[in-house]
Amino acid sequence: MEFLIKLITFLLFLMPSITSSQYIRNNIFNNRKIFAKQETISSYAVVFDAGSTGSRIHIYLFDQNLDLLHIGKAVEFFNKTTPGLSAYENNPEQAAKSLIPLLEQAERVVPKDLHRKTPVRLGATAGLRLLNGDASEKILQAVRNMLSNRSTFNVQPDAVSIIDGTQEGSYLWVTVNYLLGNLGKKYTKTVGVMDLGGGSVQMAYAVSKKTAKNAPKVADGDDPYIRKIVLKGKPYDLYVHSYLHFGREASRAEILKVTHNSPNPCILAGFDGTYTYSGEEFKATAPASGANFKECKKIIRKALKLNYPCPYQNCTFGGIWNGGRGSGQKHLFASSSFYYLPEDAGLIDANIPNFQIRPVDLEIEAKKACALNFEDAKSTYPLLEKRNIVSYVCMDFIYQYVLLVDGFGLDPLQEITSGKEIEYENAVVEAAWPLGNAVEAISSLPKFERMMYFV
């Protein structure tokens, strides 16, 4: 009996210890704090580029650091349709309907469960800026209605608008420097951009705080020369200006206006026709002697208003301040038709995303082109003939040369990177303003850091 009492006492003594060790063991293996794998934050962005010659759709996928992720094998989804919204000046509803095929593609690319969280934007550029009266606003409202009624994406009140030229230039600057990994660096390490669209041409580059502070004031209603933007926590002062009427297609109209209905020395021998732009027709006839390089150059200089009074210390053309031409303009990336013209003329391999070119190279090709007659030019430039614009090859090459050298003040021997795309993460991304716009859209979402915003 005494033995039994001692045994029970011994067991009772051990029980708290056993219970405690079981508790500790269970706590370690069953109730330990498990750190869940950090949720991957990502978001799609859909941007429509409603340009003067067509509408394009860009779809991007960003991670939590606002780095681009692959969509399949590519880093962006891109497609386009023609004509542009401005072609439907008298039919706003049809303008909106023209975007539906692109919208349907976007809805297939973006996973269905993410549609409501995916911002969609449409930016209309020079084509709609040039329409008369309230035509552009009627088109934009029809697009808003279509997206609100038809789209499953996140459509904010300001999602559809005409982006002004300074926005277009600023977004392109962000795009190029984003893809090159320059954002967050000193302004002297960034790259300036030039964009020759259909209706306008933009120049944008970063300047010093001193230059920005001393920038000329503009008249009420005009776009300021300097836009302040914060990227990756670093503020930048951007000189940016858009020259409406001086895009590739629009400039032809301005050049033909100089000679009115008379023969124009920029037109190839043997061509007699009309050029239509923004609903207006212009006589396009060659002189009896054909195109003439020197005479065409004079006409283009007049069209650019190079002799226009300059109220500032330095101007580009038309009395526009040039931004001081500081370190941010040392390296330049030229997009859109600065790439497409050499590509269509067969000067470069169409499979390369970008290449180096000098203004003097454009001048050399212009002299060759101007010496041809219309029939010979068809076989020399088959891609331009296919696009039905070979008659303007002399004009287009001289225009780009004069624009760069006489307009923007570049050295004829300065090397410029001209491109339609930039390499990024073993893929290529189009060098266009929509990516900059998408970065801003994603930055504004609550779950992302505010990487980009205008001040």
Q: Find the catalytic residue in 89, 168, 249, 421.
A: 168
3-state per-residue secondary structure call for the chain: CHHHHHHHHHHHHHHHHHHHHHHHHHHHHCCCCCCCCCCCCEEEEEEEEECCCCEEEEEEEEECCCCECCECCECEEEEEECCCHHHHCCCHHHHHHCCHHHHHHHHHHCCHHHHHHCEEEEEECHHHHCCCCCHHHHHHHHHHHHHHHHCCCECCCCCEEECCHHHHHHHHHHHHHHHCCCCCCCHHHCCEEEEECCCEEEEEEEECHHHHHCCCCCCCCCCCCEEEEEECCEEEEEEEEEEECCCHHHHHHHHHHHCCCCCCCCCCECCEEEEEECCEEEEEECCCCCCCHHHHHHHHHHHCCCCCCCCCCCECCCCCECCCCCHHHCCEEEEEHHHHHHHHCCCCCCCCCEEEECHHHHHHHHHHHHCCEHHHHHHHCHHHHHCCCHHHHHHHHHHHHHHHHHHCCCCCCCCEEEECEEEECCEEEECCHHHHHHHHHHHCCCCCCCCEEEC
Task: Report which of 331, 354, 343, 351 is spatially closest to residue 420, judged by C-alpha positions.
Answer: 354
In whole angstroms, what is the distance from residue 395 CA to residue 403 CA? 12
Give catalytic status of residue 168 as yes or no: yes
* Burial letters 425-439, b for 16+ CB under 10 A, else e: eeebbbbbbbbbbbb
Q: Which residues are catalytic?
A: 168
